[in-house]
Amino acid sequence: MKLPESNVDKHQKFKKSLTCPNCGKELKKVNVDIEDVETPAISYQCLNCDYFSFEPESIMKVIKEIKSKESPLKIKQKIIKLSKDRLGMYFNQDIVKSLNLKSGEEILVSVPDNKRIVLEIE
């Protein structure tokens, strides 16, 4: 089957975006299961530097689905090593946008039990 030219162009553009903006390494496509959402979100993860981003169309679908169910956004993320003995976690861009988080901002961290970490924006 011969693809129309426009499709070929789209495919090439798509392929270009599959490299990490931080280190230029190839990104791995990973389906992320989100609690209470039927369609998994497609994410791109760099195995070299922990860059992580959601495919915009798929995260929009997920956000729509969550809004229609009014359940809180839950995303599975990995704890990463920042430096020796220090652990951290990136805030996903969609979380940053929806909460309007800024670097340097202070948040309250509480641990209500051994299964939850609650972050409160002041």
Q: Give whichever of 10 and 25 is closer to Zn ion, judged by the CB atom.
A: 25
| 20 part of the interface to Zn ion, by CB under 5 A | yes
Cβ 24 to Zn ion shortest distance, Å? 7
Task: Give the side-chain half-sphere CA count within 13 A for 80.
Answer: 14
Closest CA to 48 of 72, 80, 73, 75: 80
| Contact between residue 53 and residue 17 where contact means Cβ atoms under 8 Å apart | no
Among 40, 45, 51, 55, the residue binding Zn ion under the rule CB under 5 A is 51
Closest CB 77 distance from Zn ion, rounded Å: 16
Asked if 49 is part of the footprint of Zn ion (rule: CB under 5 A), the reply reads yes
Q: At 106, is the secondary structure helix, strand, or coil?
A: coil
Specify the stretch interacting with Zn ion by CB under 5 A; choose among 3-11, 23-31, 90-98, 109-117.
23-31
Q: Are 92 and 54 in contact (CB under 8 A)?
A: yes
Residues that bind Zn ion (CB under 5 A): 20, 22-23, 25, 46, 48-49, 51
